[in-house]
Chains A and B, each alone.
Chain A
Amino acid sequence: MPRQSQQSRYLTDLVSRRDLLSRSAAGFAGIALASLLAEDQARGESVSEARAARVRLAAEDQARPEAASPHYAPKARAVIQLFQHGGPSHMDTLDPKPELNDRNGQPMPKYFTDLVKLTAHGNLLGTPYKFRPAGQCGVEYSELLPHTASCADDIAIVRSMWTEHNNHEQALWMMHTGRIVSGRPTVGAWVSYALGSENHNLPSYVVLRNDSSLPTDGARNWSSGFLPPRYQGTHFRHSGEPVLYLQPTTPASENTQRLRHELLQTLNAEHAAQHARMASDLEARIASYELAGRMQVHAGAALDLTRETQETLDLYGVNQPKTDSYGRRCLMARRLVERGVRFVQIFVEGQIWDTHAKNAEGTKNCCEQTDKPAAALIKDLKRRGLLDSVLVVWGGEFGRTPVSQSGDGRDHHKQGFSLWLAGGGIRGGQAFGSTDELGYHAVENRVKIADLHATMLHLLGLDHRQLTYHLHGRDERLTDVYDAQLLSPLLA
């Protein structure tokens, strides 16, 4: 194709004329989209190659000024947060309470009401679901979570979480940003800010929400808050194109896109040569178009589940009616962390765990959607040798009351709830902490959100006291003024 070579020669002339080659060697590498396509095809999809690519890219990261290094040797290099929006009922899932069942239908005991002022609520509500010991460790799980239970030896349950607010919004902010106010960066944004990306073709912080429903408060759940916007989560969709505007709204041929890209980058290169004062800004923008081009090619491939075996698809419950949406996203998350994405946040559909009425049925339904995919993620990561370096965190913004609401429901509950962690330096096969005999208060080894956050950062090799951002004369941090304690018993 003579056209193409003419154009390339022109570019070469231009670049050498402007004495730009040395400066832009990185900025303009692989300028043609075609070469990117070729590269992607050549790279294939095998895990070892992806790993090799990661090593190479990680090495490049070292050279990038904005890529910070951890404070000490990390256990985990990525986090997948399986966020259970709405607030799962701990008494029906992870926290067995035989005494609650014994007292089913009775009012809260007096020794309790003497201490705690209860708002208008019904009587104690037991769970209809059986708890059974699981795995070698014998930690008890509800029969609603058979798949999760089968991973019990890899999972550490925390049964003594508590948080600070009973409303969804504030509790969401607490869980995601460490405070019950809006406007602060999420854990993912902090991690992204601290560690950068391991893969130059994908964002470092990816959000996989259900396409048809936003969680309460929408994009603020993955906001960069006061951190620069580049650290915010990028939302990938699980149907259609994974990234907003990843492909042109009006289709254009590959060749046209390539010509367009070449023209743009050539004009930009000449412009940059004329305006060296802001070379770094201009090159950052040029590079962002390169990354956009690479994402156009790679993000699709990264999330292309047709490259998975039928066995894997079945494991996650893809194409099975209850689990398809959540299973797809769990599988996507594995593909993303495999490719060096740092933080993946998966949201359920809306706030399905918010079982104000018909708690037993609602909770069962939620488990049916999420249990199998979540367990599949652990198993799949493990067999690929990734579980050691990927931290999985499962949980919601709060728990639910041991007393009933409108007869068969449970209300929001901040004083005690459960979540679990696995992989990435977590010692599995244990349940840490406990609530009282009714599941109301976290009493033993109480864990506040800041403790959880500090521990997550710790596993990533980050000291929560050192990870700061200077704002209005103050060094802001994820754990803010809390006296955060590492959850040492959870660590392997």
Chain B
Amino acid sequence: MSRIGLRSSHYGAVLIALAAAGWLTADEPGGRSLITFEADIAPILEARCVKCHGQDKTDGGLDLRRRFTILKGGDTGAAIVPGKPDESLIVRRIERGEMPPKDEGRLDERQRSLIRRWVAGGAPLANPRELPLDDAEAAHRVSETDRRFWSFQPPVRTPLPAVTGGDRVRTPIDAFLLARLEAAGLSFNPDASRDVLLRRLCLDLHGLPPTPNDLEQFLADDRADAYEQLVNRLLASPRYGERWARHWLDVAGYADSDGYLAADRPRPEAWRYRDYVIQAHNDDVPFDRFVSEQLAGDELSDWRRADELTPEMTRQLTATGFLRTALDPTYPGYTEPNEIHQVISDTMQIVGTTFLGLTIHCARCHSHKFDPISHRDYYSLQAFFLPALDPARWQPSEVRGIVMATDVQAARIREHNQKADERINYLNAALGDLVARFRKKRIADELVATRGAVDPALLEKLTEALAQPVEKRNAEHKSLVARHVPTLAVAEPDLAARYTDFKEEAERLRAAVAAEQALRRQPVVLRGLADLDDRPPTARLLIRGDYTKPGVTVETAVPEVLRNGDESVVISAGYKTTGRRLALARWLTEPSNPLTARVQVNRLWAHHFGRGLVPTLANFGRSGVAPSHPELLDWLAIEFVRSGWSIKAMHRLMVTSTAYRQTSAVDTAKLAADPDNVLLGVWQPRRVEGEVLRDSVLAVAGKLRDRMFGPATPVVAQSDGSVVTGDDDAGNRRSIYLLVRRSQHLTMFDLFDTPMMEVNCPQRNISTVPMQALVMLHGPFTERAAVALADRIQSATPGDDSTRIDFAWRLMFARSPRASETQLLLQSLAAIEQDHLAARGDAATDVDRIAARRAAWTQIALVLLNTNEFVYIH
């Protein structure tokens, strides 16, 4: 027992017994009880020895990465003899100070002792078996088969297939789809009616239902291209950006708070990035620029050396907020390495799923299990981001950001503030003098009042004593005060209360200080990302993803399987920046990149058609699902680039297709032949998202405010556990403007599958739970909306209830009610009204009747807000 340094027989005996029984493991950092190779020895060797013995080279034929390689030893034989430290080569050479070489510094005493005790104790392993030498540390070999995988090949343009039902082909999309449908003996459904199409388009492109006015206009528009005109009008409206930015913010993982820890610190400037995304959508910023701005907006211009920031520069810098969405628990005073590396890893995951549609994050700890993405690829890709996210020079979440000023502007601001500070100091000094003068006067007055005369020496001493704050007064001060002026108060308010001239002068000075303070200029610190400087840190592979185990040095490189021959990404440094992210953005947006365009058009497609051509939107790898229509996907990707990467052009192409315009009606033959509607012979109906539901409720109730942009509307956590917004102008803004506090998820969003953003959300779930029904039927939000909606219905149309029902139907469902529905509504209205009046009995007055009517309409309105028709798009 003494061999392993344990002196308590009880403790030691237990340990030995347990070690023998295989119960002790070392997977508990800080809590290890037995010296084992994995827990104690490997970290020392990896930090100090493996560089020469095992990683890039094996000097003397010795590899110290595993116990079995140590036992095998090098040119001079086995490196250890278990149980016999004095006969073990590495123990001897280390203890004699021969290894590591002198200029590398000796191992410290603790390390030397650990190694000796480990060998003495039989050189035990913590785990029953050792891992083989990780091949990930060597370059991963990408095979020809890997390269041939469909998503790693550039898109190919195939000729449009021939179809029989040519009259149904409005766009090339239709040709590709119809060919497959016809092959299965099917065809498209007929075009949906105009009211259905209007509602579909409005909810899809704006996330809002059409107004009765929209409906009337569109039904009356008899131009041949009325539909195309409608699409153009909708795409030109600012409401479009507010809807489609939301899709992008899901992918980006946008949130207004740091998350993770319970404090969930707020990100007060994050909304600027949200506004950027909205505006970029409305402006139809070409997607290649959109990508470049978000990855490298700070490297697109030489903004630091410009005279002043142009709106364009500001926009581009703001775009880098994309790289700042990840959960980030670091704050000044808390920069734990594991948290830092998690922030980097989450950022990598967001980048990988957003642009490459690949689960590259799987290769953080080991080479990807399914895709040809090596462990090294992961860290080579990470190297593009390290100059901005350098663990060694880590800036905590709230500090990391871009000060929105050019060097010249920053200098000017410094100079300006310096002058202001000088004036402030001067004014504060003047204020201090004033207080001192009047304090002395006050003491003198007091002495005159209590003793009839002033002793100048005593006055000086008392003035000095009272000038000190109470806690800083020494014994002499205290006794002086207690003896002569025990109750005298000489703080500023006391002086102001007594001397009018003091009060006026002090107020004047304070106002002047405040005015100067207001003149100080504080540039916005944007929640963006820029390189720390133009000197990139050394990037290393982390063995098993463990930051305490840095492995080989890696260079910036895109994943090998995506490299085009030998040419790698060309990086040129800029002023105070390495240019790495810009190089990555250029590579991503090269037309030959096989993934960027495909991933994005597939995303657009999924939102329009309810299912991606590749259904796994963020996984174009082998564990994803292969495209249902590969030729169509390629055609769209090529067309996307050809159109100048215009997202709106893609929308137009998709929503003007026959595939989009067909009805959602079922057809038994189709249901049998294509139950999942993969062939798209039916427009796939779907439920609206939580945000669209909330916005639609506000819209039909006439409560929606359309103020765009700016700081987020706060959310409030109630004592009952619900999270709500206020019922005011701010609270009734569109959902995209509500604060995304990770720990305070709006109750309605929480229930309707709006993502919580642990990382990002490339694809949403749809759930149906009874709590949704309860919040929609009983919650204050819909109850309030129902009252407003009822009033709107009652006041909007004079005349009888049938007319009102008609209005309600057009408002809610963009169609007129069927006769059966009107009849049902009239009956229900009367029944509920009756129920309300019944409580009054025979004494019901006209006032009661009006109230009962209003109550009945409110209940009807609540029902309409809860109908399936209102929450589904057909």
Given contacts A116-B31, A228-B767, A278-B872, whether A243 and B835 have CB atoms under 8 Å apart is: no
The listed residue with most B CB atoms (<10 A of its CB), out of A183, A263, A444, is A263
Q: Are B30 and A292 in contact (CB under 8 A)?
A: no
The minimal Cβ–Cβ distance linking A460 to chain B, given in whole angstroms, is 22
Given contacts A275-B664, A278-B685, whether A114 and B5 have CB atoms under 8 Å apart is: yes
Q: Are A444 and B778 in contact (CB under 8 A)?
A: no
> Which stretch in A49-57, A76-84, A230-238 binds the other chain?
A230-238
Given contacts A230-B769, A275-B664, A441-B31, whether A264 and B863 have CB atoms under 8 Å apart is: yes
The minimal Cβ–Cβ distance linking B688 to chain A, given in whole angstroms, is 12
Given contacts A111-B11, A245-B779, A259-B832, whether A10 and B774 have CB atoms under 8 Å apart is: no
Q: Are A245 and B619 in contact (CB under 8 A)?
A: no
CA distance A469 to B723 in the complex (A): 30
* B834 interface residue per 8 A CB criterion: yes
* B184 interface residue per 8 A CB criterion: no
Contact with B along A277-291 (1 / 0, CB 8 A): 111011011111101
The listed residue with most B CB atoms (<10 A of its CB), out of A10, A276, A285, A414, is A285
Q: Are B28 and A164 in contact (CB under 8 A)?
A: yes
* A132 interface residue per 8 A CB criterion: no
* B588 interface residue per 8 A CB criterion: no
Q: Are B770 and A282 in contact (CB under 8 A)?
A: no
Per the 8 Å Cβ criterion, residues 64-79 of B in contact with A are: none
* A255 interface residue per 8 A CB criterion: yes
* B8 interface residue per 8 A CB criterion: yes
Give the contacting residue for A111; candidates B8, B327, B619, B821; CB below 8 A.
B8
Per the 8 Å Cβ criterion, residues 229-259 of A in contact with B are: 229-230, 234-235, 237, 240, 243-250, 252-253, 255-256, 259
Q: Are A259 and B831 in contact (CB under 8 A)?
A: yes
CA distance A49 to B799 in the complex (A): 55
Give the contacting residue for B743; candidates A218, A415, A444; CB below 8 A.
A218
Q: Kindly state the interface size class of chain B when it binds its partner.
A: 35 or more
Q: Are B619 and A117 in contact (CB under 8 A)?
A: no
Per the 8 Å Cβ criterion, residues 55-114 of A in contact with B are: 109-112, 114
Contact with B along A428-458 (1 / 0, CB 8 A): 0000000011000101111000000000000
* B306 interface residue per 8 A CB criterion: no
The minimal Cβ–Cβ distance linking A230 to chain B, given in whole angstroms, is 4
Per the 8 Å Cβ criterion, residues 788-838 of B in contact with A are: 820-821, 823-825, 827-828, 831-832, 834-836
* A266 interface residue per 8 A CB criterion: yes
The minimal Cβ–Cβ distance linking B161 to chain A, given in whole angstroms, is 26
Give the contacting residue for B867; candidates A7, A217, A268; CB below 8 A.
A268
Given contacts A217-B262, A291-B770, whether A444 and B666 have CB atoms under 8 Å apart is: no
CA distance A245 to B782 in the complex (A): 11
Per the 8 Å Cβ criterion, residues 738-780 of B in contact with A are: 743, 745, 747, 750-751, 753, 756, 758-759, 765, 767-775, 777-780
Q: Are A248 and B682 in contact (CB under 8 A)?
A: no
* A295 interface residue per 8 A CB criterion: yes
Q: A260 to chain B: which residues have CB within 8 Å?
A: 832, 859, 862-863
CA distance A285 to B221 in the complex (A): 36
CA distance A459 to B622 in the complex (A): 36
Q: B831 to chain A: which residues have CB within 8 Å?
A: 3, 7, 259
Q: Are B828 and A244 in contact (CB under 8 A)?
A: no
Q: A436 to chain B: which residues have CB within 8 Å?
A: 11, 14
Q: Are A444 and B23 in contact (CB under 8 A)?
A: yes
Given contacts A169-B260, A295-B774, whether A256 and B664 have CB atoms under 8 Å apart is: no
Per the 8 Å Cβ criterion, residues 831-874 of B in contact with A are: 831-832, 834-836, 839, 859-860, 862-863, 866-869, 871-872, 874
Q: B771 to chain A: which residues have CB within 8 Å?
A: 234, 243-245, 292
Contact with A along B18-52 (1 / 0, CB 8 A): 10000111001011110000000000000000000
Q: Are A246 and B839 in contact (CB under 8 A)?
A: no
Contact with A along B704-737 (1 / 0, CB 8 A): 0000000000000001111000000000000000
Q: Are B14 and A443 in contact (CB under 8 A)?
A: yes
Q: Are A472 and B359 in contact (CB under 8 A)?
A: yes
* B180 interface residue per 8 A CB criterion: no
* B503 interface residue per 8 A CB criterion: no
* B15 interface residue per 8 A CB criterion: yes
Q: Are A473 and B623 in contact (CB under 8 A)?
A: yes
Count of chain A residues with a beta carbon within 8 Å of a chain B beta carbon: 92
The listed residue with most A CB atoms (<10 A of its CB), out of B777, B859, B863, is B777
Q: Are B359 and A252 in contact (CB under 8 A)?
A: no
Task: Closest A residue to B866 by CB, please name it.
Answer: A264
CA distance A212 to B718 in the complex (A): 11
* B665 interface residue per 8 A CB criterion: yes
The listed residue with most A CB atoms (<10 A of its CB), out of B773, B832, B860, B874, is B773
Q: Are A267 and B765 in contact (CB under 8 A)?
A: no
* B621 interface residue per 8 A CB criterion: yes
CA distance A183 to B345 in the complex (A): 15
The minimal Cβ–Cβ distance linking B548 to chain A, given in whole angstroms, is 15
Q: Are B30 and A282 in contact (CB under 8 A)?
A: no
The minimal Cβ–Cβ distance linking B68 to chain A, given in whole angstroms, is 21
Given contacts A230-B767, A243-B774, whether A281 and B14 have CB atoms under 8 Å apart is: no
Given contacts A111-B8, A230-B769, whether A248 and B778 have CB atoms under 8 Å apart is: yes
CA distance A104 to B872 in the complex (A): 68
Given contacts A234-B771, A278-B685, A415-B31, whether A473 and B362 have CB atoms under 8 Å apart is: yes
CA distance A348 to B376 in the complex (A): 47
Q: Are B31 and A414 in contact (CB under 8 A)?
A: yes
Q: Are B779 and A249 in contact (CB under 8 A)?
A: yes
CA distance A81 to B33 in the complex (A): 31
Contact with B along A450-492 (1 / 0, CB 8 A): 0000000000000000000000111000000000000000000
Q: Are A284 and B824 in contact (CB under 8 A)?
A: no
The listed residue with most A CB atoms (<10 A of its CB), out of B5, B778, B832, is B778
Given contacts A264-B867, A292-B773, A473-B359, whether A111 and B6 have CB atoms under 8 Å apart is: yes
* B416 interface residue per 8 A CB criterion: no
Give the contacting residue for B23; candidates A3, A216, A437, A445; CB below 8 A.
A445
Q: B775 to chain A: which residues have CB within 8 Å?
A: 244-245
The listed residue with most B CB atoms (<10 A of its CB), out of A217, A225, A252, A253, is A252
The minimal Cβ–Cβ distance linking A312 to chain B, given in whole angstroms, is 28
* B687 interface residue per 8 A CB criterion: yes
Q: Are A244 and B758 in contact (CB under 8 A)?
A: no
Q: Are B824 and A266 in contact (CB under 8 A)?
A: yes
* B535 interface residue per 8 A CB criterion: no
Q: B146 to chain A: which residues have CB within 8 Å?
A: none
* A373 interface residue per 8 A CB criterion: no
CA distance A359 to B261 in the complex (A): 25
CA distance A277 to B663 in the complex (A): 10
CA distance A490 to B772 in the complex (A): 41
Q: Are A443 and B778 in contact (CB under 8 A)?
A: no
Q: Are A14 and B820 in contact (CB under 8 A)?
A: yes
Give the contacting residue for A228; candidates B327, B619, B765, B821; CB below 8 A.
B765
The minimal Cβ–Cβ distance linking A165 to chain B, given in whole angstroms, is 10
Task: Closest A residue to B349 by CB, please name it.
Answer: A472
CA distance A114 to B621 in the complex (A): 50
19 additional A-B residue pairs with CB within 8 Å, beyond A111-B12, A115-B33, A259-B828: A7-B828, A111-B7, A112-B11, A203-B770, A229-B765, A245-B722, A246-B778, A252-B859, A256-B835, A260-B863, A267-B824, A267-B867, A267-B868, A270-B820, A277-B682, A289-B866, A437-B11, A441-B31, A444-B18
What would 25 A/B residue contacts be, using CB atoms closer than 8 Å? A110-B7, A115-B5, A116-B30, A182-B327, A183-B759, A229-B767, A244-B747, A244-B771, A249-B783, A256-B859, A260-B863, A262-B828, A263-B860, A263-B863, A267-B869, A270-B821, A271-B867, A271-B868, A276-B666, A277-B671, A285-B687, A285-B768, A437-B8, A437-B10, A472-B359
Binding site for B on A (CB under 8 A): 3, 6-7, 10, 14, 109-112, 114-117, 162, 164, 168-169, 181-183, 203, 211-212, 214, 216-220, 223, 225, 228-230, 234-235, 237, 240, 243-250, 252-253, 255-256, 259-260, 262-264, 266-268, 270-272, 275-279, 281-282, 284-289, 291-293, 295-296, 414-416, 436-437, 441, 443-446, 472-474
